[in-house]
Structures are given as C-alpha cells and as structure tokens.
Amino acid sequence: MANLLMIESWLQSTGLMLPPLLRDGGHHYVLVTRDPDLYRLPDGEPHPVLALADEVVVAETNDAAALVAAARAVAARRGVDGVLTTCDYYLPAVALVAEELGLPGAPADVLHTATRKHLVRHVLAAKGVPDVPYAVASTWAQAHKAAADLGYPLVVKPVDMNSGTGVRKVHDEAGLAVAFAEATAPERNTRDQPLERLALLERVLEGPEYSVESVTRDGVTRVLGITAKSVAEPGVEAGSGFVESGHLFPAPLPAGERAVIEEHVVAVLDAVGLTHGISHTEVRVTAAGPRLIELNPRQGGGYIFELVRLVTGFNPLQVLVDLALGREPVPGPSVAASAAVTFLLPPTDGVVREVLGAERLAADDRVVGYETPSAGREVRPGDNNERIGHVLVADPMGQDAKTWADELAAGLDVRIDTMAAIR
C-alpha cells in the first residue's frame, strides 16, 4: 500500500480506469487540481478521479512554484511515495514534482523536450537519428518558405497539442494557410496552459503506421509490443486531418521487421534521454526504414493500454503505478493471442438520432467492451477526440481480433441527422 500524488487526469479512457486500479491495489492518492469541478460525469456525479481520491488539494497546477509548494505540503502532512498523471499536459509537472520530492521519475527537462514535437525533432537531428525532413514556423512567411523548401504534400501540426488536434495534411498553399492558422491560432490548450503557437511542417511519410509500447527503467528500455494502427487518411481538401480508426495488437510483422522498428524506437528514446517511464512511440515504416511520427512519454491511448494488457499481461496503467513507486513492473496473466479495437467515426456533422444493433454486441463473447453514442449527441468529423464509440474484441487463440472488431463495428447502424437537415 502506497500514498500517491495524482496531478490532474484525463477524463476518459485511462482517466476512468486508473482510480479503481489504485483502489483495488490498496493504494491511496491525493488529487491535486486547479479545478475540481472539471471532474464531473455528464450526469453531474463525481468522476472516479474525484470520487476515489482520499483528499483533493486545490492548487494552480499550471504554475510550477505553486504546484511544488502544494506537493511539499502534502508530503509533509501524509507522505508521498510516488507522483503520476494520465494527462499528457502535466507530464513535465509530474517529473518536476518527483525531482523536488526525491521520488522516481524522468528528468523534468527531458519530459519538457519529449512533450514538444519540434524539440524531439531537433534532438534527433543533433544525435544523427534518421528522421523526416521538417521545419518550424512561427509566422506565415516562415511557413511559406519552409513549404517551398520541403515540397508538397506536407503534414502541419502544432508542436504542443495532443490526440491529433490540429494535425493536417496539405497539398498546396491554400491548404497550408488553413493548417498554419489552425496550428498557431490557439493561445491555450484545454487545461488553460499557454501554447507556443508554433507550426511543425513535415514531409509526408509513406508506409504502414505502428506504435511501439515500451517501458524504460534505469535507462534500459523493454518493448512490450508493437501495435498496428489503422488511420483514416485525409482527403485533398484544405485542412483535412488524420483520425486513428482502429488498433490491432500485436502487429502481424515478420521478426526481422519487428526488430528494426524496435531498434529505431530505442534509438529515439535514447536520443531524447528518456531514462524512466512508459512510452507510446508512433512510427511509419517507409522505404528508407522506420521514421518517427510522434513520441508520447505515456501509455498509449485509444484503448491500446487494454489491448496490451489482454495479450501480454502487462497492464500499462499498473506499469505507470509501478514506475512511479520505483518498482519493477511484473505482468499478470494474458488472456488473448490478439486484441483489437475499431472506432466509430462520424461521416458528417450532425446529431445522433439512434443506434441500431448494439444489443448484438452485449451478447457476443468475443466483445470485451464497447461504447455507442447516445441519441441527441452532436458529432462532427475531426481529430481523435471526435470518435463517437468503439468495439473492443479479443481472440483467445488466434489473430482474428481485427477482422472481428471491424465486422462487429460495421454491423452497427448509427443514424445521424445532418446539420443541414436539422436546420
């Protein structure tokens, strides 16, 4: 049994599952948040992050000095054995507090770099790790020149957002103008933290996409496995974006190709200096070899953490807790040979009228979990935050999980009234 400090949290997915995991493990945690009212469910009831906390401390988590002071006060009053979060935006803050309290964690400056896409690119270039041609722009003139140098098509993204927010594939100057404005216009993220308002321009990578789920402790990285990712490719219209439409674990790869991907990711983590923590590193395998899409120094979202648990026995959320406490992660039992999730994506802007066929999911033994949108929900195509449901499937004996998940999701009839029809 340990006392943990939780600095903010996501509201969905990992944010819902970590609090009961801590409780069931006999641990206690203090939630430090700038706004307890954020942690409410749609019906107004307390979110598990709030409901299962032993104590809630209100502090300005976006201010380093105030946060460290609050953490020191908690540590003096009841002791703190580890610091963690599920929210990307507070990973550098967790590292800083762990440093200040003398607890396990990655160096705070490393987490600052790892959560800013352009700084990761700079480090890889400095260390000679093969990477994609890129440029960083703070003004339209810089973006225009960079695009001319790199050539179209390009991927444009903000340097410090998550979940695919503002990531756009552009084919011409008109598309670049839209994407640059979208990447640099927001002044603050959803947690009211100031953004750098920089656009990262990258040459488009061609090839299948994967993510590598890893654990690093004492500078040694252990790869838990590779996830095959299905991506809904954007069209050619200006401002079109990428949305992950499904995941399969483990990826069906030959041993040699798997080893090359793993070696590249370990080289990326070493270059950045990530010596402690769980990571979810996205790559594309191009004709020239694996190339980084993004480094995420946290567990994979989009239910990848659950796929990994089902197949390997390593629960990435439990690994997160173990690493925060300085413990060697140990796997539990595995229950599947393959596991997959397929997401429901809205084809257009509108409002959900009804969903037909969900009752078949509840009766299907292959289904581990699912979610469908409720009637009246407004939906729109966009980034990964705009997915409207999912079907998660496990195959105990073989490699059919992805086929099953896709078939089951396709069997759902999500009826949407378009905005035009509503008006």
**pLDDT bucket at 312, cuts 50 / 70 / 90:** very high
- Which burial class, exposed, middle or buried, applies to 195 when counting CB atoms under 10 A from its CB (0-12, 13-18, 19+)? middle
pLDDT at 239: 40
**pLDDT bucket at 419, cuts 50 / 70 / 90:** low
**pLDDT bucket at 235, cuts 50 / 70 / 90:** very low
The edge-to-edge listing of strands for the beta sheet with 240-241 is 134-137, 199-203, 154-158, 168-170, 240-241
pLDDT digits (tens, 9 = 90+) for 322-333: 999 999 999 999
- Which burial class, exposed, middle or buried, applies to 119 when counting CB atoms under 10 A from its CB (0-12, 13-18, 19+)? middle
- Per the DSSP assignment, residues forming a β-bridge with 414 are 355
Lowest mean pLDDT among 124-128, 208-212, 303-307: 303-307
pLDDT at 238: 36
Cβ 71 vs Cβ 46: under 8 Å: no
pLDDT digits (tens, 9 = 90+) for 352-411: 888 888 999 999 999 999 988 888 788 877 666 678 889 999 999 999 999 999 999 999
Please tell me if the domain spanning 3-103 has the same topology as the one spanning 338-422.
no
Strand extents, DSSP E, 251-385 = 277-286, 289-296, 338-344, 350-356, 367-371, 378-379
Say yes or no to pLDDT of 253 above 90: yes
Say yes or no to pLDDT of 236 above 50: no
Percentage of the chain exceeding pLDDT 90: 80
Strand extents, DSSP E, 65-129 = 82-84
The CATH classification number of 3-103 equals 3.40.50.20
Mean residue pLDDT of the chain comes to 93
Say yes or no to pLDDT of 416 above 90: no
pLDDT at 26: 97
Parse the chain into domains and list their residue ranges. 3-103, 133-204, 205-335, 338-422
Domain 205-335: give its CATH superfamily. Answer: ATP-grasp fold, B domain (3.30.470.20)
Cβ 154 vs Cβ 204: under 8 Å: yes
pLDDT at 413: 85
Question: In terms of CATH architecture, what is 133-204?
Answer: 2-Layer Sandwich (3.30)
Q: Which fold has domain 338-422?
A: D-amino Acid Aminotransferase; Chain A, domain 1 (3.30.470)
pLDDT digits (tens, 9 = 90+) for 190-227: 999 999 999 999 999 999 999 999 999 999 999 999 99
Tell me the HSE value of 294 on the side-chain side, using a 13 A CA sphere: 21
Say yes or no to pLDDT of 233 above 70: no
Q: Residues 123-132: what's their mean pLDDT?
A: 98
Please list the helix, strand and coil fractions of the chain in percent, rounded to the nearest 5, in that order. 35, 30, 35
